[in-house]
């Protein structure tokens, strides 16, 4: 069955450093991969999408890489700030009328 | 901005009750989803729908059913609530366009079954 794994342990980093989160998947050939941010008590909010034929995508301080051979995506937040503290979820989809499947999420804590 | 509204923020029900969770989106999206979120398990897909009256089972449909009579409304039904259905329930609708796809989520319904 399809499996999406994110580091279940919380990630603590110092303010100003680059945070790197990992998303690995098995038994899946997604058309795209997405990253979402979720704050406590709120629904996830979309951040970025990267397609299967793209290697890297950037948006402001965010960078996502997608390696379909390794079946892995890396999500980077550069110059991290305490306001970046949240849980980050990766999600995979095949487009159209297909489902969107989420990983378990990684909790990021940026320490001032 | 897209708005996805879930009818209740908090809900407390008794075992065996029939429970309705309502979700409404205002952007004419075709695809809508119901997830539940539990600590350590992430978001798990219960059901999704790609059109009015159309539905597909997700990964954990047992004990649930859904209804989509109108495009903007997607309801999740717990036929006979059980304590293991205590969870945060999240509804989402999906935008599809040239820039790709993305889900818009409601604020969630925290359901407690006693």
Q: How many CA atoms lie within 13 A of A19 on its CB side?
A: 29
- Distance separating the N- and C-terminal Cα atoms of chain B: 37
3-state secondary structure of A50: strand
Residues of B with CB under 8 A from a CB of A: 4, 30-31, 33, 35, 40-45, 48, 50, 56, 58-59, 90, 92, 94, 96, 99-108
Residue A9 has a pLDDT of 81
A102 interaction partners in chain B (CB closer than 8 Å):
35, 42-45
Residue B86 has a pLDDT of 98
User: Which tokens is A3 given?
Assistant: 């499996």
* Bridge pairing between strands A19-26 and A62-67: unpaired
For chains A and B, what is the number of CB pairs under 8 angstroms? Answer: 66
The CA distance from B16 to the nearest CA of chain A, in Å, is: 27
- Bridge partners of A100, per DSSP, are A93
User: Which tokens is B33 given?
Assistant: 């989803």
Digitized pLDDT (tens) for each residue of chain B, 114 residues in all = 779 999 899 999 999 999 999 999 999 999 999 999 998 888 999 999 999 989 999 999 999 999 999 999 999 999 999 999 999 999 999 998 888 899 999 999 999 999
């Amino acid at each position: 069955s399809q499996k999406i794994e994110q580091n279940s342990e919380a990630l603590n980093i110092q303010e100003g450093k680059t945070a790197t989160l990992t998303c690995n998947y098995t038994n899946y050939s997604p058309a795209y991969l997405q990253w979402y941010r979720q704050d406590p008590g709120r629904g996830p909010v979309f951040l970025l999408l990267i397609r299967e034929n793209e290697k890297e995508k950037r948006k402001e301080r965010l960078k996502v890489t997608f390696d379909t051979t390794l079946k892995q995506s890396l999500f980077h937040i550069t110059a991290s700030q305490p306001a970046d503290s949240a849980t980050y979820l990766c999600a995979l989809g095949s487009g159209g009328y297909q489902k969107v499947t989420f990983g378990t999420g990684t909790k990021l804590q940026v320490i001032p | 901005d897209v708005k996805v509204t879930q009818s209740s923020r908090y809900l407390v029900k008794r075992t065996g009750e029939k429970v309705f969770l309502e979700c409404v989106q205002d952007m004419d999206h075709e695809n809508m989803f119901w997830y539940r979120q539990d600590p350590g398990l992430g978001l798990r897909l219960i059901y999704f729908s790609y059109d009015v009256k159309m539905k597909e089972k997700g990964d954990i449909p047992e004990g649930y059913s859904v209804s989509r009579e109108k495009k903007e409304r997607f309801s999740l039904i717990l036929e006979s609530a059980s304590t293991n259905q205590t969870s945060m329930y999240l509804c989402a609708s999906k935008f599809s366009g040239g820039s790709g796809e993305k889900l818009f989520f409601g604020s969630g319904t925290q359901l407690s079954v006693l």
